[in-house]
Structure 1
Amino acid sequence: MSRRSILFGICLTALASLAPGAHASDFPGHDSNIHPAAPAAKAAIDFDKHGFLIHGKRVFLATGEVQYNKIPRALWRDRLLRVKRAGYNCIQTYAYWNYHEPQEGRFEFTGEKDFGAFLKMVQELGMYAVVRVGPYVCAEWDSGGYPVWLRFKPGLQIRTDEPVYMAAVDHWYDKIFSIVSPLQIHRGGPVVMVQLENEDTRSAGPELNGSYFTHLRDTAVRDGLAVPWFMSGVNHGDDPAGNDPWDSETRTSPWYSSEFWTGWIAFYGVDPGRAHRVERTSWKALAYGAGGYTHYTMVGATNFDYWNDDEQASSYDFGAPVGQEGDFREDYYTAKRAAMFATSFSSILADSRTFPSPPRGAINAAIRVTSREGKSGAVYFLDNHTGGKVSTQISIGSRLVPAAGPVSLASDEILPVVERAALPGGVTLDYAATHILGMQTQGNTTTMVIYGAPGDPGELQLTGAGAHSVKAPKDAGAKVTVNGGSALVQVKYSDTPAEFVVRFGSETYRIVAVTPDMASRTWLLDWGGKPAVVCGPDYAGEVIQGSLYTERNASASGRQANSYLYTETGSRALEQSYSSAATSAKRVPVVGSWMVARGDAEAQPGYDTKTWLASAAPRPMGADGDISAYAWYRTTIHVDKAGDYGLSLSDVGDWVEAFVNGARADASEVRMRVGDAAPRFLKVHLNGGDNSVAFLTAHYGRNKIWGYIGPYDKMDAKGISGAVTLSNTPSDRVSVGQWRYKLDGRGEAGAAEMTASDPSGAGWADTGNNHDVFDGKPGLAWYRAALPNIAGVSRTLHFDAVDDNAFVYLNGKRLKENRSANAPFDVNLDSAWKEGGPNNLAVLVENTNGAGGINGGVSLFAAPTPIGGPIQGWKMRGGIRMPAAAASWKPWTSGDLNAPAFYKTTFQFNPPSGAYVALRVGWDGMSRGSVWLNGHNLGRYPERSPINGIYLPECWLKLGGNTLAVFDEEGHAPAKIQIIEEAAASRDVLLLAPSKFPGVKQASRK
C-alpha cells in the first residue's frame, strides 16, 4: 500500500474537553547533536538523521539507566535482567571518577568496583551499552563524581581548560578509556555510544564551542574512542519529546534522550499519575521521531557508605520502574509495552520520517494522528489527548476496520497502527488495527503478541506467498480468512490468550491475542537456548534446568494465574510449584540484645594523635585523604580564668560537636554548607590554664555542584575551615519569620522601588515562612522584613530553603543570588549593615513551577568580639573508628549515651522457603548516623525519601546469624530499632515448567 492508502475514520463514543499538559525539558546548554563514529567503528555502529545502525541493521535504542555502584555486585545480573525482560536492548551508566580514584593515583576497579565486569555482564545478556565517562556525572552523587583530592590542588578550576584541572581529567580519561575502549562494539564489546561531560550549562554545539570541550574530545579520541559520542547529555526531561513532532529531515543525527526521567530526586515508589505520565510520554517519543531514549533511572538503587549527595541519604529509589529492592512498579509494565514495540519495529522507527498527518476521511479532530513512514513500513500513532475515553474505527480504502466495531482508547492513550511492515520470511504486515506488544523470531516461526481491552475487536492482515493451513480458536469474533496470498486475522479479546496460526510456505506466523493485563505479563526470552514467549507470570526471570524462575507479590492471594509457553514447535501450559510457607509469620527477624561502645575516644585528653594531620589553622575534611563523612579535630585553648566562653567557627559544614577536656560541651544545629562559608557559634566552659578541645564534624552529603564552573577549593567545603576564635560572650541569634510580601512580575527590574517602598502600603500582605504565596503558579514575589539591631563584629543571615531562586538585598544593596532550589545558604551582611539600624531586608523569590516561597527557617547571627587572634595549632583525622577490642563494648540496658556511640546486635535470618522477604532496618528514636550489615556500610539515616527504613540487601544477609551495627552521632538509645518488612516489595518465588498437556486456547495444526 502507498503512504496515502490508509485513511483514518474516527468514530467517537465518548469525549472529554480537557487535554492534559505536558512537561517539556528546557535545560540550559543541552545539545541534541550526536557526533559520528570514527571510520574504524562505522561498520559496527553508525547513524543517520533517522536512527542508529548496528552491524548494518536498523536498531531503536530502548535504554534503561542502571548504576552499578549503587547495586551490590551480586545483584547486578538480577537487575539487568529485569530491564532486559521489559524489552530494553541497551543499558546506560556513568563511570564515577571519585568512586574509582578515592585518593590520587590509587585506582580501584576490582570487586564491587569492577566496571569492566559490569559492562561484560551487559554483553552476556545480549544488550548494548552507553557509557557516560564524566569527568562530571551528577547522579545525586558525592560532589557529582569529582574526587575530594581535587579540592586541595592550588589554582584548580573545574570545567575549565585551566592546566591543573585538565591534567587531572586527562589522567582519569587515560584510565577509564583503558577499560571502555576495548569494550567498544567494533572491538567485540557492547559499548555503542559514549557521553563526555554531563549537564554543562554551556552549549557545546555541533562544532564544540570552546577549548574545554575540544580538549575532552581530543583526549578521548587519543585514548581510543571510536564509537559515536555526545557532549554533556541530550534532551533531558520528564517529557523530553515535548508536544509536537519534529521533522527528522532537518537533523544530522537521530533524536535520543540520555535522561528521560521516570521519577525524581528523593521519590520512593510510584503513584498512578506518574506511571501514567511515563507511559504517555514514552509513546509520544516514539510518535514524534525518537531514535532511542534512556529511562533515567530504570532501576532504583542505594547510596552505600557515604557516597550520597546533600539531597539524598541511603535510598536512591528515584521512584523508578524497578524499585530499590527489585520490586516492580506500575510504570515498569507500561514502559515495557512501549519498549517492546519499539525494538520489535526498529526497521521502521529507526528509518522513517515523522510528520503530523493531515485529517483524512472521516477523522474527528479530537484524535491527533502522527505518522512515521519509511522504506520498511509506517506507523500511525492515534493520540487520544481528549481527557476522556473514546472509541474509533480506522478507514482502509472503502472499509472500516476492525470490521467488528471500534476499538477503545483510554484517556491519553496512544495507539500505534502499523502498516506495510516488512516481516521475516518475505511476509508483509499490511496493517494492524490493534495494539502490538512485540514479536519474537523463533527459527521459521514468528510469534506476534497483540492486545486489546476485553470485548474489544482487533484486526490485522498478513500477505505472503502461499498462505495456507489456517486455524483459529472457536470463539465468536475470532477467525482467519485467506484470500489469495493474504490472511485476515480477526479477534475479540478475552481474558484467556487466543492463538492464531497462519503459514506462508515454510514460514509460520503465530498471533497471540491477550488483554492489556496479560500483555504486562508477557515476556520474550530464551528457553533452552531458543527464543520463546511466555504469557502469565508477573515476572519471567532465569530459565534453569527447564524451569522458569518467576515472582509474584507476596500480598497476592491464591495461586499464580495460568501461564503459557510458546516455542517454535508449539505452545504448552506452564505448571507452577511454590511453598505455602511464604505466608509464615516468622518471616521478619527480631533483633537481639544490644552492645554499646562510646564513640568519643578521640575527644579524650591524651589520645594519641601522632598520625593526625597537623596544621596552624583547621583544614577541611579530606585534607588528610579521608573520604568519609566525619572528621575529628583537636587543639589546645589556654585561658587565664575559668568560665563560660564562646567559640566562633568561621566556616563549618555541616554539623559540629565540641568536647572540652573529654566532656561533651555543645553542638551546632545541622546546616548544610554549599557555596558560601557557614559560620557556627558554640558555648563552652573552660578551666583556667590549658584545655584539651576536640570537635567531631559531620557532613550529610557533598553537593553535586550541578552546572558549577570555577574554583573548587571553597565550593561545598566540609568540616572546619578558616579561623576559630574565642570570645567572652556567646553569639547572638534571632529568627526571622514575619514578612510582608508583594507579587511583582518585574523581578529585579523593580528592585529600586521594591527594596525602598513602604511595605505597609497597598498591595503588600503578611506572610510567614513555609507558605506558598504563589498558589502553585510561576511568578515573582518580594519579601520584606526589618532586621533587629544585634551586637557583634560580623552578621550572617542563614536561609534553610527557598523555592526556587532567591535574590537578597539589604538596605537596597544586592548581596546574594542563590539558584539552588531548597538548598540552604548563608549571606554575609557586613558590607550593607548599618550600625544602630535601620536594616531593611528584601528578598526577591522567583518561583518557576509548583509551590514556592521561603520554605524554611531564616536566622540572623552576630559574631561576638574575639579575645586575641585565631586559635593556632590544630590536628585532624578523617573518619570514625568502630572499636575492635571486645573490652570497649558493654551491654546496653537503657537510656541515651548523650555522646557519639556505636551499637551492635545480632539477629537470625531464616526466611520461609519460596519467599523473598524485603527487609529494612528502621531508625526510630535515633538522631543521625550509619548502619552496617555484616560489615557492609548501608548508608546514612534518616532517609530523605518517604521510606521508613534502610534497605538490607538480600545478598549480604546470611542464613542464620547476622550482625547489625549502628553509629549514632548523639548516642540515642537503640530501643526502637527493629527490622521491618516492606510488604509491597516482598515476593513469592515460583518455578514454572511445561505441562504434559497444552491447555492453551489455540489453533489446531496440520
Structure 2
Amino acid sequence: MKYGRLLYSLLLALSISTVANAQEVVNDHMFHALPAAKNFSDFDSKGFLINQKRTFIVSAGMEYARVPHELWRERLLQLKRGGFNCVEVYTIWNFHEPTEGKFEFDGDQNLDQFLALVKETGLYSIVRVGPYYCAEWDQGGYPIWLRFKSGVRVREPNAEFEKYVNRFFDRLLPIVMKHQINKGGSVILVQLENEHPKGWGTDIPNDYFKHLQSKSLAMGMEVPYFFSGVHHATDPAGKGILDDPKRPNPWFSTEFWSVWYSQYGAKPTDAATYDRRTWKIIAHGGNGYNFYMAHGGSNFGYTNNDEDAASYDYGAAVGQAGDLRPIYYTFKRAGYFARSFQEILENSTDASAAYQYLTPDTTLKISARMSEAGTLIFLDNSTEKQLTKTITLKGLPPFTINLLPGEIHPIVHQFKLNNQVELNWGLSRIYSVIKQQNTTTLLVEANAGDPLYLNFITAGKAVIKSTIHVDDLKVTGNSITLNTVFKPADQPTLYLFKTGNQLVRILVMDKAATNKTWITAETGSEAIVTGVSYLGETKLSSTGFEGVATYPLAAAKDTHAMLYLENGIKNLIVAPVQDIKIDTLLSLTLWENKDASIFAASATNNGKWIASENPLQMGKNGNLTNSAWYRTKFNAPSTGKYTLQSDGGDRATVFVDGKLVTHWKIRSGELTLDLKKGTHDLGFFTAHDGRDKLAAYLGPITDIDKKGLSGITRIKKGGPFIATLDNWYFTAASDSIAIKNGPPLLDTLKTTKYKIGADVFKLKEGYGWFQTVVKAQPGLSILIISFKSTDENATLFINGKKVLRHEGWNIPFEYKITEPAILAKPIELSVFIENISNEGGIDQPVKINLMGTGTVLTGWKMKNGVDPEDTSVNWEILAGVDSLNGPQFYRSTFNQQKSANRYLVWRVHPYGMGHGSVWVNGHNLGRYPEKIGDIGLYIPEPWLKEGQNEILIYDEDGKNPSQVKITLESAASKISYQLKAQ
C-alpha cells in the first residue's frame, strides 16, 4: 500500500521498526463525552469507562458494506464468540449516496438495522463516519458524482465540499446518534475523518475539522470522539513503551493491521506473529485495540479500488466466507484474558521494576501492570525458540515455566475473584475468568507436561469438592494451592472448592480443547460449552439449554460436549449428522452469449448515448459501473500510420469501422492506428479495475485518476510522439533557501546520475536539484512536459528560469513550452524538490509530448458499458470459439440442493476469462481477475436458491467461458447440528 507522504510518515512512525513511543509522533487524544453520555461512555487517563465500569475494548473491524445483510448476525456472533466486545465500522459515503441526492439505507445499506443487531448481539460499536474512509474502497468512499462538482476541494476548508458533506451527514448522523449507548444503543466512540495528513486525535488544524466537529455535535453526538484514528500500525505497541503521563486518555489502536489485504487465507506464521503483537499491547499498558480487519468480506459490484478485486479477505480471523482461521483462536485467547482482567488493565501503572527479581536471565523480559484490583506480570520470550525457565517469587518455591517461541506469558497476582476468594498467584496460563453468579470459573490452558500452579487466599474456611483429581488441591489454613503437572484428557480436568456461598471451578485443558470452548450468556446467566468446534445461536433458560453448533466440512466430527452452568455440569447431546456424498463441482448448462460489442459501430444507437464535443471521463454521465463506450468519426486525408492522443485510464478495446483492431493502455497517452484514406468510425470500449483510494489527497478530485477517455483528443499522421525523459542528474541542496540562487551548473561528468523512483533523501526531510536536457525541437509549435508525480513539492526551471511551482505528492501536473526560440535549442530542465518526510525524489517517469498540433476529434458520443438488459441483441447458444469480437455477456444455469445441516460455500473460478464481473441470481459478486491468486469469487449463501440458479458473466475481453467452474470451498463449508442438555 502506498500512502501519501505525510500520512505515510505518520503510519510508518507508528510501526515497531521506526519508533518506540508512538504517542510522541502523532496526537492520540480523544474528546470526552458530553454530560448526557458521561455515565455511559467516557474515559480517564488510565482506561475506558463503559456504563461506569472499567472496560478493555477488544474491537473487531468489520464493514457491513462488504457483507450481505442476511449474514450480518452470523458474522457478528462469530466475532462475539471470538472474544470481541466491540465492532468498528465505516459508513462509506458512496455506498449510501451512489447517485447524488438519492440516499440508500435499506437492505445491505440498512445501517440502522446493522447497529441494532450489534446491540442485540451484545457488542459495542465504534462508528467512523468519514466523510473520507480509504479502506481500499473505490475513490476512498467519495461518490463518483462529487468528482464533477465545480469548486469542490476535498478534505480542506471548502464551502462546496462541506455543503455536500452536510447533506450526507443530515441523513447519516441521525442514524448513528440514535444508536449511541446513552440512548440505549451500542455506539461508544465516533471517529470523524480518517487518516488525514494534517489532523489526528484532537488536532483541529483548520476550519474543515472545526466544521466536522460542530456539525456532528449539532446533530447530537454525545459519546467520546476523535479525528482520523489513533495508533495505526501492523505492530502498534512497537517497543512496548506505551505509558505517557501527559496522555489524558487511554492508549488505543483504531487500526491494528492484522495480516493485510493482499492475502487470502492464513500463512503458517500469522497466528504466532499477531498473537505476540496483541499481547505486547496488553502487557505494556494498552487499553484496547481494533483489529483491521477481523472480518474482511467482499468488494461486491464495483466497490473495489485499484489494489483489489472481489476479495477483501485480508487473511482475517473470520474469512471472507465465514471460516475461522488459526489467528481467530489466538485473538480469542487474548481478548478473553484482557476482558477478564480489565479491572487491572484499565486502571494500571507500570510495575515492571518491582518484578525484575523473578529471574536474572536477561533473555526473559519482564513487565508488570499494577492497580488496586491486582497485578499482572508478563514473562516475555522474545526469542524464536522455546525456553524453559525457573522463576522465583517471594514466598513461593521456585517454579518452572515452559515458554513457546515469542510467547508473552501472564502471571496473575492478588486478583479478587469474588468477595470470598483472591487469586494470590496464578502462574499457569489463565485463559479466562467467568463470573457465573455465585460460581467463578477459571479456564486454564496448558500443554502436556506443563507445571500447574494456582494459589488462592480465602476469607473463610475452604472446602474441596469431590473431583477425580482432588489430591492435586492442598488446603493450608486460608490458602488453597493447585500444584501438579498437566496431563491432557478427553475432557477438561476439573477442580472445585467452595468458601461460604462462593464456588470456584477450575477447568484445565490444552490448546485444542480451548479452541473448542465457548462462553455464552442468556438471560443474564453465563454458560460455558466445551467440545464444540463452533457454537452458534443458543437458548439458555431455567428449564434447559439448546444450541446450534457447527464443525468444518473438512474436519472431524464433534462427538462429545459439556455444559458448565453456575450450579452444575451437564452432558450435551450431540445430534448425529448423516454422512452423504457432496459434489465438489456444480454442473453448468450450455452457455448462452449476447454480443456486447455491437456498440462499436455507428449504425448502433441503442442505449442512452450522451453527445459532447470532447470525450467525457467515465462517470460524468452518472455511470456507476466500471466501463463505458465512446464513439466518434475521423476523416484520414491519406493512407498511413496515425497516432491518437487522449487522456484518461485504464484500458480500451479499439474498433475501427466496427472491427476490433487493438487493445490500448490509455495511460500511455497515445495509440497507433493504421488507417486507409477516408472517413472512419472510431469506437472505444473502456474499462477500469477500480479507482484510486486517494489516501492523503487534499484538493480537487476531478482530474485525479481519470477513467475512460477525457479532454481534448488529437490525431496526427506519424508518431509516436510521446517519449520518456531519461538521463537525470541530482545535486543535493542544504536547505530551501538554495532555490533563490537558481539551478546549479549541470556538469554531467561531475554530477550524480539519478534513476527515476530512487530515494535520494534516505527517508528524511531534504532538498535537491534534479536536472536533465531535452533535445532541441526546431519547428515544433508546442512541447508538453508531463509529471505524473514528484515527491513532494516541486519548482520547475527552464534554462535557469523559474516557470512553475507545484505542491503535493501523487498529483499529475504539466508545463507547456510554446516559444520558438526556446524550442529551437537544447532545453535544460531543472526541478527543485522539497522532501517533507520519508522517501523523496521524482517517483514516476517524466514524459514529453512532441505532437505539437494535430486534428482535434470532436462529435463524441458516450454510453455505459454494462447493459445486460439491452433487448436489441438476443441470447444465443455460444458457438465454440476461443475469443469473440470485444466485450460479451454469457449466461448459464446450475442446480444447487440445500440442506438444513450443510452450509456449503461455492466459488466461481473464471478460468480462461479476461477482465470482468460475475452475477449470480442478479447479485454482482465483484471483479475478476483476483489480485491475490486463484481463489474464485465467493457466492454468499443467501444469494443461492434451492434448485436452479443463474450465472451471468460480463467479460470485457470477450474470452470464452468454457473453462469456468463453480467449486466447493471445503475449508469454509460446514456441518451444523443441534445441542441439547441431558
Q: TM-score, normalised by structure 2?
A: 0.87
Alpha-carbon separation, structure 1, partners of 2:405 and 2:769: 40
2: distance between equivalents of 1:783 and 1:209?
A: 32
Q: 1:418/1:113 Cα in 2 relative to 1: closer, same or farther (>3 Å)? A: same
Shift of 1:23: 8.3
Instruction: Report the alpha carbon displacement of residue 177 of structure 1 after superposing the two structures with TM.
Output: 1.0
Structure 1 equivalent of residue 172 of structure 2 = 176
2:966 pairs with 1:966 = no
Q: Which residue of 2 aligns with 1:726?
A: 715
Partner of 1:1000: none
Matched, 1:605 2:595: no
| Residues 991, 35 of structure 1: alpha-carbon distance in 2 compared, 3 angstrom cutoff | same
Give me the whole-angstrom Cα distance separating, in 2, the residues matched to 1:886 and 1:205: 56
2:37 is paired with a residue of what secondary structure? coil
Residue by residue over 1:312-342, the C-alpha shift from the partner in whole angstroms, topping out at 9 and shown as x without a partner, is 1111111211111111222111111111111
2:380 equivalent to 1:391? no
Q: Once structures 1 and 2 are overlaid, which stretch shifts more, 485-494 or 783-792?
A: 783-792
Aligned to 2:95: 99
Q: Matches of residues 402-421 of structure 1 in structure 2 within 5 Å? A: 405-421=399-415
Distance 2:776 2:592 in 1: 50
Which residue number corresponds to residue 487 of structure 1?
A: 480
Q: Does the aligned pair in 1 maintain the 2:584–2:967 contact within 8 Å?
A: no
Q: Distance in 2 between the 1:177 and 1:412 partners? A: 44
Q: Is the 8 A contact 1:288 1:355 kept in 2?
A: no
Corresponding residue for 2:558?
Answer: 560
C-alpha RMSD over aligned residues: 4.0
Residue equivalent to 2:438: 444
Partner secondary structure for residue 269 of structure 2: helix
Q: Structure 1 residue aligned with 2:421, among 413, 416, 427?
A: 427
- Deviation of the 1:81 alpha carbon: 1.0
Paired AA for residue 538 in structure 1: S
Residue 495 of structure 2 corresponds to 500
Q: Distance in 2 between matches of 1:526 and 1:646?
A: 73
Distance change (3 Å), C-alpha of 1:840 and 1:714? closer
Match of 2:684 in 1: 695
What is the aligned partner in structure 2 of residue 571 from structure 1? 569
Matched, 1:596 2:596: no
Give 1:750 deviation, angstroms: 12
> After superposition, what is the alpha-carbon deviation per residue over 1:4-52, rounded to whole angstroms, capped at 9, x for unaligned?
xxxxxxxxxxxxxxxx979879799842101100001111111101111
* Partner Cα separation in structure 2 for residue 264 and residue 848 of structure 1: 24
Identify if the C-alpha distance between structure 1 residues 105 and 66 changes in structure 2 by more than 3 Å, giving closer, same or farther: same
> 1:267 is aligned with what amino acid?
Q
Q: Deviations over 1:735-779 (max 9, x none)?
A: 89x9999999999999999995658x99989x9x99x999x9999
The yes-or-no answer on 1:324 pairing with 2:320 is yes
| Residues in 1 aligned to 2:461 and 2:973: alpha-carbon distance in whole angstroms | 45
- 952 and 696 in structure 1: CA distance in 2 versus 1, 3 angstrom threshold: same
Q: State the one-letter code of the partner of 2:207.
A: S
Name the CA shift for 1:744/1:86 in 2 (closer, same or farther; >3 Å).
farther
Q: How far did residue 587 of structure 1 move? A: 3.0
Matches within 5 A, 1:276-291: 276-291=272-287
Residues 704 and 811, structure 2, Cα contact 8 Å, conserved in 1: no
- Distance in 1 (alpha carbons) for counterparts of 2:336 and 2:165: 39
SS of 2:252's equivalent in the other structure is strand
CA contact (8 A) 2:722 2:850 kept: no
Per-residue CA deviation, residues 815-855 of structure 1 (Å, 9 max, x unaligned), is 999997xx9979779699977869899999999999x9999
Deviation at residue 455 of structure 1 after TM alignment? 0.8
The C-alpha deviation readout for 1:228-256, integer Å capped at 9, x for no partner, is 00111111101111113333543211111
Whether the 8 Å contact between 2:94 and 2:142 is mirrored in structure 1 is yes
Label 1:905 to 1:29 Cα distance change in 2 as closer, same or farther (>3 A): farther
Q: 1:975 aligns with which of 962, 965, 969?
A: 962
Pair 1:572–1:355, CA change in 2 (3 A):
same
Residue 755 of structure 1 contacts residue 809 of structure 1 at CA under 8 Å; is this kept in 2? no
Task: Write out aligned runs for 1:242-253 (5 A).
Answer: 242-253=238-249
* 1:873 lines up with 2:859 in the alignment: yes
- Structure 2 CA distance for partners of 1:354 and 1:579, relative to 1, 3 Å: same
**Could you say what secondary structure the match of 2:413 adopts?**
strand
Letter in 1 for 2:859: G
Distance in 2 separating the partners of 1:855 and 1:956: 44
Distance across 2 between alignment mates of 1:199 and 1:513: 44
Tell me, yes or no, if the aligned pair for 1:929 and 1:969 is still in contact at 8 Å.
yes
2:385 corresponds to which letter in structure 1? G
2:258 counterpart of 1:272: no
Aligned residue identity for 2:407: E
Pair 361,52 (structure 1): closer, same or farther in 2 beyond 3 Å: closer
- Output the amino acid matched with 1:591: L
Which structure 2 residues correspond to residues 65-84 of structure 1 after superposition, within 5 A?
Answer: 65-84=61-80
Q: CA deviation at 1:193?
A: 0.6
Of the candidates 141, 144, 147, which is equivalent to residue 140 of structure 2? 144
**Pair 1:683 & 2:666 matched:** no
Deviation at 1:353, TM superposition (A): 1.7
CA distance 1:334–1:917, shift in 2 (3 Å): same
Match of 1:4 in 2: none
Once the two structures are superposed, residues 29-80 of structure 1 have per-residue CA deviations (whole angstroms, 9 ceiling, x without a partner) of 8421011000011111111011111111111111001100001111111111
CA distance in 1, matches of 2:169, 2:305: 23
Aligned partners of 1:587 and 1:910 also within 8 Å:
no
Query: In the alignment, is residue 261 of structure 1 matched against residue 250 of structure 2?
Result: no
- Identify which of 698, 713, 719 aligns with 2:702: 713
Distance 1:949 1:816 in 2: 47
Q: How far apart are the structure 2 equivalents of 1:149 and 1:527?
A: 47
Q: Match of 1:373?
A: 370
Shift of 1:467: 4.0
Cα shift at 1:350: 1.2
Which whole-Å CA distance do the structure 1 matches of 2:25 and 2:87 have between them?
Answer: 24
Over 3 Å counting, the alpha-carbon distance change for 1:155 and 1:51 in structure 2 is same
2:112 corresponds to which of 116, 123, 126: 116
CA contact (8 A) 1:621 1:717 kept: yes
Deviations 1:413-456 (A, max 9, x none): 11111111122344322221111111222232121101122111
Partner residue in 1 for 2:876: 890
5+ residue gaps in structure 1? 1-19, 672-677, 997-1006
State the one-letter code of the partner of 2:43.
Answer: F
Tell me the secondary structure at the aligned position of residue 617 of structure 2.
coil
Q: SS of 2:36's equivalent?
A: coil
Contact 2:646 / 2:666 at 8 angstroms: preserved in 1? no
Distance (whole Å) between structure 2 residues aligned to residue 336 and residue 829 of structure 1: 60
* Residues in 2 aligned to 1:571 and 1:399: alpha-carbon distance in whole angstroms: 33
The answer to whether 1:229 aligns with 2:218 is no
User: How far did residue 411 of structure 1 move?
Assistant: 1.9
Contact 1:528 1:543 in 2 (8 A): no
- Contact 2:286–2:345 (CA under 8 A) maintained in structure 1: yes
Query: Retained in 1: the 8 A contact 2:310–2:926?
Result: yes
Is it true that 1:521 corresponds to 2:521 in the alignment? Answer: no
- Which one of the candidate residues 518, 522, 526 is aligned to 1:531? 526
| TM-score of the superposed pair, with normalisation by structure 1 | 0.85
- Aligned-pair identity in percent equals 32
Classify 1:812/1:278 alpha carbon distance in 2 versus 1 (closer, same or farther; 3 Å).
Answer: farther
Q: Give the Cα separation in 1 of the matches to 2:153 and 2:101.
A: 19
- Asked if the contact 2:560/2:574 (under 8 Å) is kept, the reply is no
Displacement after TM superposition at 1:633 (Å):
2.5
Supply the AA of the counterpart residue of 1:888. Answer: N
1:472-510 Cα shifts (integer Å, max 9, x gaps): 65459x612223333222342232210111112112111
Structure 1 residue 87, shift from structure 2 partner: 0.7
Q: Write the distance in 2 (CA, Å) between the matches of 1:867 and 1:22.
A: 52
SS across alignment from 1:290: coil
Letter in structure 1 aligned against 2:564:
Y
Closer, same or farther in 2 for the Cα pair 1:461/1:455, shift >3 Å? Answer: same
